[in-house]
Structure 1
Amino acid sequence: MQQISTSTLSKNVQADLNLNWPTQAILFCAIIIACIGLNLNSAPVVIGAMLISPLMAPIVGIGFALGNSNSKLLLKATRLMITQASIGILGATTYFLISPINTASDQLLARTEPTIWDVLIALAGGFAGVISLAKKGGGGNVVPGVAIATALMPPLCTVGYGISHLNLSFTLGAGYLFLINAFFIALATAAGTIFFRIRSGQHLNVSVRQEILILIIAIIIIIPSSISGYSIVRKSYVDAQLSAFIEKELPNQYIAKQSIDHQHIKLAVIGRRLTQSQISKLKSSLKDYHLKGYKLTITQLTKGNYITAQQFQDYMKQQNNGNSLQSDNDNQMDK
């Protein structure tokens, strides 16, 4: 059975805290690989980049230094993390400036809206990592697994994409995700280090002031992600209620399009034409599906009980023009 040792943890953590050119060259290569994967929307390529990235080392080093109140090691690890993050952002920005593919892929978009779940993943990953590093005989594939689960590389690449395209929402969103991952991995590492020190009978020298400061910072960082997480849960719930409403109240209608915008539900339907009284009844039944306060607008694409091909084409053309106009407006706002 492998034993947990604080000396093993210290040895493994400090072994990778070296500011040398081979490590930084590997990081730069990993950043380029990750950028290509994000650009081409290829998850396997992104995962490969995370496996070879050395970004975990300084973050774990910061947590270990906090758990030992070692200011010299904390400064060394922080300096290394800032250097590596700067190299990553610079490399990503350069890549996306010269890349012929300018469209934001799903892989890029996924890194722009952090939630409370990212906090939980970083904490769990941090704990797994510090336990792995404290095991005599090595931690096997746990640390690379933590690097993949917490996804430190993609947010930095997305920051570079945002900078290269002057898109502030991408830059801030991805930067916040990287901050969440780095801070809570370090926090989990610090907590694990303190636990192992207590377990081995070592005297703790972490002041109450330091603990309170870290707690305050953690709460400040968590707040925006909690709000975002609540919004996602709320949206998922409303979508489920709307699906139930459509299935029960409009069983004979084909829903050509549906959207929810600021408590305004818009449905475009094809089927037997609904009377005004039927529409009024549908609006009043929203409260039965916990959608009280929502406004319902139904656009009927049929004349009588049928729809011609021309009518449907005209409607789709109108929607496409509207979406194009909205996209142009969004691009102007980003610029």
Structure 2
Amino acid sequence: MEISDKSVCGIDGLTCKDIRYNATFTWSYFFMNVLATIIASYGLLANSPAVVIGAMIIAMLLGPIMGLGLALADSDMILFREGIFTLIKGTIGVVATAFIIGVFNKEIPLTNEILVRTAPNLFDLMIALAGGAAGAYTAISPRLNTGIVGVAIATALVPPLASASILLSRGEVTLAMGAFLLAFTNMVAIQFAASIILWINSVQSASKIGVFELKKVLRRNLVSICILILLGTFLSSNLQQVVSKNLFETSTETILGKEISSSSGSYLTETRFEQTPNITIVRAVMRGPNPPSAKQVGIMEDSLPTPPDGTRIELRVRFVQTTIINRDGLLYSDVNFTTTG
């Protein structure tokens, strides 16, 4: 397909040809995405960030999304339909492959690499917008072609889709929807950012820019803009919840550490949080010469901050007796907390 001199990619149109080609469905595109999914799925199940990064590099879902950005910047509905068709087929291949792998590996526990992709927030949206802009700028700047590897990693699409499918294969629908939301957020943000960057390149090449041209490209991206506003609102709420939760957990650990260390020879070794519908359970592991009494546990519980979701807090202490000895003998007695030596 010939590219006119008015293309958003510049006068020669060579970059546009590359973007259009990468947005076209081929079996090699489909096969590479399946291979990327196999690598990503086993990397997720093995909890290996390095393997997951390898899958990001060879995945090809970025191509049709860049094609959608070009289509909306250049008002090319034929390319838009081709990009949508290619993206949907590639996504189906990824989801189906990961689901099959998930079914045959149900005995492997869910890893942090999977779970970390189930709670997207505003930071993920910002990363995707920046990644989409970087991808478009890399595509139109021959000197920056090597940067596409970094873009592929920053705007990861296959790992969240694979995570969602693995979770679906185990019936974890809520967690799977979170991973799907992350993938969808990346897709929309990349497309919008790419469209704007490609349009800016076109008006710079033609030495023309004005309110009318800006209105046209924004109108073509109206659906994307509306989706991004909704996503931004929802993901901002998610970010606020994450920050509140982290502050609560950090404050709780600090208070418990001080309270427990005030008893001679005792110290906090681990704190875990468990959420139930009405209670936030704080499980603390302490070591020392003597266990705390129920009254002492109650006093510590009363000193803890209120959980951000407003649930009642319950402290459960697991005590591990520890004997501390120096050259003079026992440093602490195991009954009366009296020091020796």
Q: TM-score, normalised by structure 2?
A: 0.76
- Corresponding residue of 1:246: 256
2:226 is equivalent to residue 216 of structure 1: yes
Residue 181 (structure 1) shift = 0.9
Q: Counterpart amino acid of 1:232?
A: V
C-alpha contact 2:72 2:221 (8 A) present in aligned 1: no
1:258 counterpart SS class = strand
Deviates more, 1:273-282 or 1:7-16: 273-282
Deviates more, 1:223-232 or 1:110-119: 223-232
Measured against aligned partners, the alpha-carbon deviations of 1:142-185 in whole angstroms (never above 9, x if no partner) come to 12211112221111211221232232123212111110111111
2:26 is equivalent to residue 16 of structure 1: no
Q: How many positions carry a matched residue from both structures?
A: 300
In 1, the alpha carbon distance for the partners of 2:252 and 2:107 equals 36
Q: Counterpart amino acid of 1:34?
A: A
- Corresponding residue of 1:139: 144
In 1, the alpha carbon distance for the partners of 2:74 and 2:224 equals 14
Residue 44 (structure 1) shift = 2.1
Structure 1: gaps spanning 5 or more residues: 308-335
- 1:117-196 counterparts in 2 under 5 A? 117-135=123-141, 137=142, 139-196=144-201
1:140 counterpart SS class = helix
Residue 88 (structure 1) shift = 0.9
**Considering only CA atoms, is the larger Rg found in Structure 1 or Structure 2?**
2
1:139 counterpart SS class = helix
C-alpha contact 1:245 1:286 (8 A) present in aligned 2: yes
Residue 60 (structure 1) shift = 1.0
Q: TM-score, normalised by structure 1?
A: 0.77
In 2, the alpha carbon distance for the partners of 1:104 and 1:193 equals 40
- Corresponding residue of 2:43: 37
Residue 248 (structure 1) shift = 3.2
Q: Counterpart amino acid of 1:156?
A: L
In 2, the alpha carbon distance for the partners of 1:162 and 1:180 equals 18
- 1:171-320 counterparts in 2 under 5 A? 171-200=176-205, 201=207, 204=213, 206=216, 209-251=219-261, 252=263, 253-255=266-268, 258-260=271-273, 261=275, 265=282, 267=284, 269-271=286-288, 282=300, 286=304, 295=313, 297=315, 299=317, 301=319, 306=334
Measured against aligned partners, the alpha-carbon deviations of 1:75-102 in whole angstroms (never above 9, x if no partner) come to 1111110010011111111222233653
- Corresponding residue of 2:83: 77
Residue 273 (structure 1) shift = 5.9
C-alpha contact 2:118 2:179 (8 A) present in aligned 1: yes
C-alpha contact 2:19 2:66 (8 A) present in aligned 1: yes
TM-aligned CA distance change 1:187 to 1:248, over 3 Å: same
2:61 is equivalent to residue 55 of structure 1: yes
Report 1 or 2 for greater relative contact order, CA contacts < 8 Å, sequence distance ≥ 6. Answer: 1
Deviates more, 1:272-281 or 1:112-121: 272-281
2:37 is equivalent to residue 27 of structure 1: no
TM-aligned CA distance change 1:126 to 1:263, over 3 Å: same
Residue 254 (structure 1) shift = 2.6
In 2, the alpha carbon distance for the partners of 1:276 and 1:67 equals 67
In 1, the alpha carbon distance for the partners of 2:320 and 2:112 equals 35
- 1:68 pairs, out of 54, 74, 81, with 74
1:166 counterpart SS class = coil
**1 or 2, which has the higher helix percentage?**
1
Percentage of identical aligned residues: 24
TM-aligned CA distance change 1:239 to 1:19, over 3 Å: same
Residue 283 (structure 1) shift = 5.7
C-alpha contact 2:33 2:59 (8 A) present in aligned 1: yes
Deviates more, 1:121-130 or 1:107-116: 107-116
C-alpha contact 1:114 1:225 (8 A) present in aligned 2: yes
In 2, the alpha carbon distance for the partners of 1:105 and 1:42 equals 9
Structure 2: gaps spanning 5 or more residues: 1-7, 322-332, 336-341
